[in-house]
Amino acid sequence: MCGIVAYLGPKNPLPIVLNGLQRLEYRGYDSAGIFLSDGLTRQTTKVVGKVSELRNELATKNKFDAQLGMGHTRWATHGEPNQLNAHPHVSNSGDLVLIHNGIIENYGVLKKELIERGYHFTSETDSEVLVNWIEEIKKTSGVKLGKAVQMALSQVVGAYGIVVHDNSNPMELIVARLGSPIAIGLEKEGFFVGSDATPFLDHTREVIYLEDNEMAILRAGKDIQVRQTDNDTLRTPTVEELKWNLENIQKGGFPHFMLKEIHEQPDAIRNTLRGRLFAEEGKIQISSFNEHQSVFTQARRIIIIACGTSWHAGLVGEYLIETFARIPVEVEYASEFRYRNPLIYSDDIVIPISQSGETADTLAALKLAKKAGAFIYGICNVVGSSISRETHSGMYTHAGPEIGVASTKAFTTQIAVLSLIAFKLAVIKETLSPKALRSHLIELDKVPTLMEQLIAEKEQVEEIAKIIHTATNCLYLGRGYNFPVALEGALKLKEISYIHAEGYPAAEMKHGPIALIDEAMPVVVIATRKGHYEKIVSNIQEIKSRKGIVIAIVSKGDTSVKKIADYCIEIPESSECFTPLYATLPLQFLSYYIAVLRECNVDQPRNLAKSVTVE
């Protein structure tokens, strides 16, 4: 969703902000803008479209030595993507400038009041209302900008990450957050602000993350003050060291981030398992489990909350935990869970799963469960993200930065973490013999190497993509552990190639979707040897009798499915519980190659955002 970048300090802010916005492109956006100031000259430039167009537009403008830059990529919520609605927004007096990520829910009431007091609006946005609300408070209360922001935010309902600037104090920036992340990079005499740390990764390793209900006053060459927005309590911020480097967030020779990230999965899973899995000894070491031993021993139920791809990983987690640890698991869409008055008990463990750690619905559902007394054990990829900070404990997936909007390595590393959790719980609950445990762990340990072999065979998937890329619909079927994989395969295809696709449990086909099957319908069937093989072979026969085009994901050496399916993609033979880790890869490649053939924007599909920070 919207991206924020700002710089205040001795360097030229223009390249810093523009390059920073480009790094945030992965979040998804439809317009972009920048504000530059040296205290006397002030310049605002906005475009509909990409940061490259903003760069071109700026090249036509007068140059001056700015000392402050504020940039924004907007993902439309209130008002269509056009120049007027793009940020930065300037107050009626022209003094205050604001960039905003989030939604001000009560903007209608505030706008009405401002109009009654003589304010006018050029955009349809909630953000323009906010900057004028701050201006009105500053004017009527005679306070400085920091105080005015604080007072204004106390009357705001919604979510925000904001940066505000006042022309009367050109060397100061006010930053605040509630629900939308804000990272502040530090250098000797300057400050960087970002929706995450990627915009300033090449300038500094030192970062401060604002907490919810906090604001920071940044004064160039001076200091940073972090305080609560709802009272004046000061906090001495913890300066954290950034571990990701620039190489991690560049394409490394691949044409798209998504392709790079698909290829990174073997190493990503190695990183997930490192220091946790000791296969030969038949042991799993998870420090957070030792710290909270009694919680895991007494757990009666696990509730997994997540959205999108992370929700699909949660479904695989349900199969894993129920199979091996025999603990009941419920998997809930965070957006439904938070609004349906769910039953939550103090001996429940709630597991929010989120790559970004910033998904608004997952964060809100987590807070609800925490308030109800559940133990919150998070699975996140982004270190220091909002969700990871709200949990009682948890595990990072260590997949490295995922920039492509379509989630790939986050999904498989989430499954790897859930496997570790399932086996660890099985040890605690004594539901798995040491021999069976060791044999499973040895198999898990081999996943990265076997994944590498699978990736080496990607050309076969590319050939199939060439045949089916013109389809308008596609069906994905799987059973057991591979039902969530079918859902994930369908999601990947629809989000990046805009082909309508549905994922179904294979047996459900007869209850409706079979009516769709004809000679124009590709049906991707996950038909691995372990797990309901005969039943899925019958399903394939049913599809073929109706002339559907069957693309089957089969175990190496399969003969039966090969006789009836139109195309087969082999994956390594494995226990059923590990098939999602392999079967997912060809489906990722399939959607990738199809999207490329259809000339779609693979890394930034239309209408989508990488982290969904509004509900």
Only segment of 252-260, 325-333, 353-361, 554-562 that touches ligand F6R (CB under 6 A): 353-361
**Binding of residue 310 to ligand F6R (CB under 6 A):** yes
Q: Three-class SS string for 246-292? A: HHHHCCCCCCCHHHHHHHCHHHHHHHHHCCCEECCCCEECCHHHHHC
**Binding of residue 307 to ligand F6R (CB under 6 A):** yes
Of 200 and 311, the one with the shorter C-beta distance to ligand F6R is: 311
**Binding of residue 135 to ligand F6R (CB under 6 A):** no
Of 495 and 558, the one with the shorter C-beta distance to ligand F6R is: 495
Of 95 and 495, the one with the shorter C-beta distance to ligand F6R is: 495
Q: Out of 406, 418, 427, 465, point to the residue binding ligand F6R (CB under 6 A).
A: 406
Show contacts of 595-600: CB within 8 Å, 24+ apart. 595/496, 595/497, 596/255, 596/256, 597/465, 597/466, 597/469, 598/469, 598/497, 598/498, 598/499, 600/496, 600/497, 600/498
What distance in Å separates the CA atoms of residue 419 and residue 416, rounded to the nearest whole number?
5
Looking from the CA of 232 toward its CB, the CA atoms found within 13 Å total 3
Of 310 and 539, the one with the shorter C-beta distance to ligand F6R is: 310
- From 2, 307, 474, 600, the catalytic residue: 2
- Encoded amino acid at 181, one letter: P
**DSSP for 208-239?**
EEPPTTEEEEEETTS-EEEEESSS--EE-PPP
Only segment of 134-142, 351-359, 446-454, 560-568 that touches ligand F6R (CB under 6 A): 351-359
Q: How far is the CB of 309 from ligand F6R (least distance, A)?
A: 3
Assess whether 2 carries a catalytic annotation: yes
**Binding of residue 611 to ligand F6R (CB under 6 A):** yes
Q: Out of 308, 317, 522, 572, point to the residue binding ligand F6R (CB under 6 A).
A: 308
State the burial class of residue 281 (Cβ atoms within 10 Å of its Cβ: 0-12, 13-18, 19+): exposed
What distance in Å separates the CA atoms of residue 236 and residue 558, rounded to the nearest whole number?
62
Q: How far is the CB of 494 from ligand F6R (least distance, A)?
A: 10
Q: Out of 73, 85, 359, 613, point to the residue binding ligand F6R (CB under 6 A).
A: 359
Q: How far is the CB of 306 from ligand F6R (least distance, A)?
A: 6
Q: Out of 214, 495, 570, 576, point to the residue binding ligand F6R (CB under 6 A).
A: 495
Q: How far is the CB of 587 from ligand F6R (least distance, A)?
A: 12
Closest chain position to ligand F6R (CB): 308
- From 50, 424, 458, 610, the catalytic residue: 610
SS3 for 91? coil
> Which of 406, 411, 396 minimizes the C-alpha distance to 265?
411
Distance of CA 400 to the CA centre of its chain: 12
**Binding of residue 180 to ligand F6R (CB under 6 A):** no
Of 26 and 504, the one with the shorter C-beta distance to ligand F6R is: 26
**Binding of residue 612 to ligand F6R (CB under 6 A):** yes
Cβ pair 34, 45 in contact under 8 A: yes
**Binding of residue 309 to ligand F6R (CB under 6 A):** yes
Locate 445 and state its tokens: 């340990």
**Binding of residue 356 to ligand F6R (CB under 6 A):** yes
Within 447-466, which residues bind ligand F6R (CB under 6 A)?
none
Site string for ligand F6R, 363-402 (x = CB under 6 A): ----------------------------------------
Interior angle at CA 27, CA 585 and CA 359, nearest 5: 80
Q: How far is the CB of 308 from ligand F6R (least distance, A)?
A: 2
Of 229 and 356, the one with the shorter C-beta distance to ligand F6R is: 356
Cβ pair 165, 96 in contact under 8 A: yes
**Binding of residue 354 to ligand F6R (CB under 6 A):** yes
Of 21 and 380, the one with the shorter C-beta distance to ligand F6R is: 380
Q: How far is the CB of 396 from ligand F6R (least distance, A)?
A: 13
Q: Out of 407, 412, 528, 604, point to the residue binding ligand F6R (CB under 6 A).
A: 407
**Binding of residue 320 to ligand F6R (CB under 6 A):** no
Helix (H) or strand (E) holding 317: helix 308-325
What distance in Å separates the CA atoms of residue 318 and residue 313, rounded to the nearest whole number?
9
In sequence order, the β-bridge partners of residue 98 are 89, 164
What distance in Å separates the CA atoms of residue 606 and residue 16, rounded to the nearest whole number?
26
Strands 348-354 and 191-194: unpaired
Residues with catalytic roles? 2, 610
Residues that bind ligand F6R (CB under 6 A): 307-310, 354-356, 359, 362, 406-407, 491, 495, 611-612
